[in-house]
Structure 1
């Protein structure tokens, strides 16, 4: 598994992509890459990281509830059936 990019690394990638037109022989493609594609990818990475964080919190809550014996609570089986 590759190491997760930091927010700083994502920012640096976006900045480098902004200068891509200086090196690219096809400026229209470079404009799309630097102006649309890379920012969209960085935004998607950040959105997914936020979602993963939410899900990790949900999993931690579930583990805490299970450790407290939630499986013995009334309605537990009904809740599982709704999944």
Structure 2
């Protein structure tokens, strides 16, 4: 009996969803063009969400830096070092 070599990607697909693996490798089912289009749209949406979150993190760090600078300036003025 000839043994089939199992690729790491195939194993990962099985671990992620054994039903999808079964349909793809044992039943030979193909993904419909409509499902591929929906997945492409969903991937684009997720990429945009990731970019939006990254921008939010940048704004948060900028606000934190501005707040720290304001606190330092207030302390300098309070201690009389700004004269």
Q: TM bucket by the smaller chain?
A: 0.3 to 0.5
Q: TM-score, normalised by structure 2?
A: 0.48
Larger RCO, structure (CA 8 Å, separation 6 or more): 1
